[in-house]
Chain A
Amino acid sequence: MWLPLLALIIGILFGFLTDFQISDEYSSYLSIAVLAALDTLVGGIRAHLEKTFDDKVFITGFFTNIFLAASLAFLGVHLGVDLYLAAVFAFGVRLFHNIAIIRRIFLVKWTKKSDSTTKD
């Protein structure tokens, strides 16, 4: 369990230490990438809690989501349409949906636990 945490810290450190500037036209790509990463992460947690977690699905989902979102934003920039908003919207909705499911699972777990404790 310590390896993913260490990786997260290393990633954050890398992000702060690398000092490269992103020009304004690529800021939408970055926001989409962040959203995709968070979405996949939350989706993974949800799948883990539902006990349907598959690491292949998780990894491929992570990368294809980021790639797809970036290409969509790229297309949007070149077509003059803010297509990256669609990706932001989709990821946002899914993020909240997943978080809601996670919350319910935790809620169910907690109520079960309290029920069992009261029964005991």
Chain B
Amino acid sequence: MRVKGKHVMFSFVLLITGFLVSLSYQYTSHTNQQGPPLSDSQWQEEDELRNEVISEQQVNQKLTDSLREVQRQIKTVEDDISTSERLYLNLVEDIDQLRMVTGSVGVSGEGIHVKLDDAEYVPGEDNPNHYIVHEQHIQQIVDELLVAGAEAIAVNGHRIHQQSYIQCIGPVIEIDGETSFSPFEVTAIGDSETLDESLNLVGGVKDQLVNQNIDIRIEKRNEIILDPFFSEKG
């Protein structure tokens, strides 16, 4: 009986011992499979490398953000540029249009040609003043043409613009500081039909001028070229 109890205890102790030993053995072989244990310096190095990678990633993240920001700015700037280019194109077209109107550039197109000349026959005792073309006659023609919708007008080749003046200086007239002689040729660009009719109205400009003994000739032309206001005169 005593021997058996001792044996049981022995077996119990040996069981635990065997269990522990084999467990320890298994544990060691497991850790060996996982590769050699890392030394402190290796740990440190790995840690440093990991930190480096993380910081690099953070830097990358920041750079990506800023890149995105810059791309966004570029897009805005490009949009602005395209908008303003369109605006500039419109403005340039407007300027071209306005320059045509103000006489800064040459224009061409269909229009009307009016020739005013002094009367050829002057009765002896009469005042010759009544038989020559005066500045107000030209002014009348120009006004009538402008009212009728002429886009550009020139008198003897001098372009008439907003601030032009037509002045009488004795036997000749002065247009913007340049003297002109008879015969006077008024050329206007616009709808030639309308301009012609406006001048030929009954009791209109033509009739008045004819009554004042002025030789007036009106002809429609398909192509009239007007020089710009500030062009060099030969």
Q: Whole-angstrom distance from the CB of B185 to the nearest CB of chain A?
A: 113
Nearest A residue to B2, CB-CB: A55
Please name all residues of chain A whose beta carbon is closer than 8 Å to the beta carbon of B27 when the two chains form the complex.
22, 27, 30
* A58 close to B22 (CB less than 8 A): no
Does B19 sit at the interface, judged by CB under 8 A? yes
The bracket for how many chain A residues form the interface is 20 to 34
Does A40 sit at the interface, judged by CB under 8 A? yes
The bracket for how many chain B residues form the interface is 20 to 34
Q: What separation, in Å, do the CA atoms of A30 and B20 have in the docked complex?
A: 7
* A15 close to B11 (CB less than 8 A): no
Nearest A residue to B22, CB-CB: A15
Residues 1-35 of A contacting B (Cβ, < 8 Å): 1, 3-16, 18, 21-22, 27, 30-31, 33-34
Does B24 sit at the interface, judged by CB under 8 A? yes
> B194-232 toward A: CB 8 Å interface, digit per residue (1/0)?
000000000000000000000000000000000000000
Q: Whole-angstrom distance from the CB of A44 to the nearest CB of chain B?
A: 7
Please name all residues of chain B whose beta carbon is closer than 8 Å to the beta carbon of A8 when the two chains form the complex.
11, 14-15, 17-18
Nearest B residue to A17, CB-CB: B22
* B25 close to A15 (CB less than 8 A): yes
Which of B6, B10, B26, B31 lies at the interface centre, i.e. has the most chain A CB atoms within 10 A of its CB? B10
Chosen A-B contacts, 25 in total, with CB atoms closer than 8 Å, are A4-B7, A4-B10, A4-B14, A5-B14, A7-B11, A7-B18, A8-B14, A8-B17, A8-B18, A11-B14, A12-B19, A12-B22, A14-B18, A14-B19, A15-B23, A15-B26, A16-B26, A22-B23, A30-B23, A37-B16, A38-B17, A41-B14, A55-B5, A55-B6, A59-B13
Residues of B within 8 A of A (CB): 5-27, 30-31
